[in-house]
Amino acid sequence: MLTQTTNAIVIPAVSGCLIVVEKKPYDSSWRNSIFDAKKSANVDAIFSARRYSSCKLQKLPLLFGAGDLKLQVFSKSTKPGIRCFTCFHKMNDVCNLRNLRSKHSCSYISSKATSSLPDGNSGSRMSRTERTDAQNALFDYLHYTRCLNFTDAEHISMNSPVFLQSLLAKVNDGEEVGRSVSRFLRFTPINEFEPFFESLGLKPAELYTLLPLNLIYLTDDDHLIENYHVLCNYGVPRSKIGKMYKEGSEMFRYNYGVLNSKLQSYERLGLSKPTIIKLVTCCPALLIGELNRNFLEVLRKLKALGVELDLVRGCLSDKSVYHWDRILKMLNFLDGMGCNQKNLETLINQHPRFVFDDSGKKIYILVALLLKLGIKMDDILLLFVQYPQILAGNFVKNLWQSIYFLVDIGMNVEDIKMIVKTHPHVLGASSSKSPYFVMQRLKLSEHQLCDIIKEDPNQFTYLITSKKSSAINLPKVEGTFLREKTDFLLRLGFVENSDEMARVLKKFRGRGDQLQKRFDFLVEIGLDCHTAAEMIKAVPPVLNQSIDVLDKKSTFLLNDLGYPLEALAAFPTFLCYNLDKIKLRFSMFQWLKENGVSFSTKNRKLVSPTVALSTVLACSDARFFKYFVNLHPKGPEEWERLKRSFSSK
């Protein structure tokens, strides 16, 4: 029962206490029985309790609605020595004291508790400045307070946007963001596993099931951090480690040296480090338990066929699941069918993807279908070599549908076999409609439709669909040039006949040997081979420039501007900008610095106090003029002078 007086509300408590909530200013007479409330906008105020003679207070934060409240406790007990205490979580909705106390040993604020959108992002959008300030505050907490090493703290703070958004929702809107977040982190423990797992590429919906039940500090899980560092030092991208943890958390509980020895055991099999990295990110189970016998047998068979093992790297995707037992059965199936070993070796060397695509399942269906038509096994392999695209994507499914379409319209089996042997790429180009629908639309009989297809099989796609075929994704370039470019991309780790390869091929200019020389130049200036490959995947036009141009731009970046190679790896588009534009922008930037204009370097992606290359180059001329040139009164004049000097050269 609530009793309201002039200035207070008296709430009887089950424990025999009276709880009085007042809106009066602080009164010194209540010195021993008052909780001071700290104001907090839009979030719960945190009440700090002090000891007093009549009650023994728990060291537990009480969360109340925002406002300037005072909570006073009176003991009704007359017996000496009896001390009772009653608290409630919120004034609006009283929470169970038992649940509250059971959580006080681990009373951290979780980002899961904040209101969020279905995609895991908070409802309010933070500005770039707020995000940078929050990132820096989180970095300082992780690095200086929690003693995580610089690289780990930086990566976590830069790659946990959802956690940062929830963190910003808990601090005061009216204060400077960095200071508010720092104060919040100073007094409120957080579950450090949340931003850590998010920085590893896990989504909020995935990471909550993976959080340890009894830990909130990363440094308390020595095995996790140790094995995490082993993977990072080996070269595994941090953004891929989250998937590895999700699918194989056992490896993160290994004792010191175990995980590293497993990685080295794969090197002893003849696999290169980039291939091992791709393998373990796509198939984390390979690092759990003993070496996978089926995987070892697959490698043995590929070696026996003379297949280069590093070709495996370009055939794997972290979006797929691989069953090595099925792949092994498929290779044994091809052996058991009496395949010509030379044809099989040629097929796998030139088009290794079919071995791993869907764990070899498609090849079973396709071979069984072609054998049923009466095509011999050696002819099937030759068919695959001549038309490798029938092994990729939905070709198998489409080919199966097209064959049954021809059967349904009454075409002779021998005619179907001939069309399959000469035009498999046409039959597998598109999914077919039902024969009834096609005949109704074209107003043709079954016999007429058969005659048209037998006379010109290329018309099949246009007859069974209402749109043109989109099967041929690669540019129509004949001769050795396309083969050379394709081979070069396969060596970089691209998947043959993939959309990514098609996109990159369209952007490349030059022969395959020229592209290889330009790529080798990037490695010669100090870039890691894997890093250079990632740069090319992100920005293919980098290799469209001659070695001389690449040399001039890289020399200017490293020697004249003093940037490290890491800056180039982070922004490979730098090599695509005109050298005069680069010199003009950075000359203006240097002039501004020499004339007292300071620039914020809050972004910790670079250890050295240099501004990011993208900040200077990626913006338009108008934006650069507004945000850089105008920072100094004489900036516009100097900008025009520099433009004239560069244009006259």
- Could you give all domains of the chain from N- to C-terminal order, each with its CATH number? 3-106 (no CATH), 111-220 (no CATH), 475-576 (1.25.70.10), 577-649 (no CATH)
Q: Please give the average per-residue pLDDT across 289-305, as a whole number.
A: 88
- Cβ-count burial of 127 within 10 angstroms (0-12 exposed, 13-18 middle, 19+ buried)? exposed
Please tell me the pTM assigned to this model.
Answer: 0.53
Q: Please give the average per-residue pLDDT across 58-62, as a whole number.
A: 35
Read off the DSSP letter of residue 43: S
596-649 pLDDT, tens digit per residue, is 877 655 444 333 346 888 888 888 888 888 888 888 888 899 888 888 887 766
Per-residue model confidence (pLDDT) at position 615: 85
Per-residue model confidence (pLDDT) at position 409: 87
Per-residue model confidence (pLDDT) at position 536: 86
386-430 pLDDT, tens digit per residue, is 776 677 667 777 888 888 888 888 888 888 888 888 888 788 777
- Asked if residue 226 has pLDDT above 70, the reply is yes
- Asked if residue 51 has pLDDT above 60, the reply is no
Per-residue model confidence (pLDDT) at position 472: 34
Per-residue model confidence (pLDDT) at position 227: 94
Q: What angle do CA 374, 375, 379 make, to 5 degrees?
A: 165
**Angstrom distance (rounded) from CA 212 to CA 220:** 11
Per-residue model confidence (pLDDT) at position 71: 37
The two three-digit tokens of residue 264, written as one number:
């080295």
17-22 and 70-75 beta bridge pairing: antiparallel
User: Left (φ > 0), alpha (ψ -120 to 50) or beta: where does 530 sit?
Assistant: alpha
Question: Which three-class secondary structure state does DSSP give residue 426?
Answer: helix
Cα dihedral 263, 267, 269, 272 sign: positive
Across the chain, mean pLDDT equals: 74
Among 187-191, 311-315, 441-445, whose mean pLDDT is lowest? Answer: 311-315
Sheet holding 34-37, edge to edge: 3-4, 8-12, 17-22, 70-75, 34-37, 45-48, 62-64
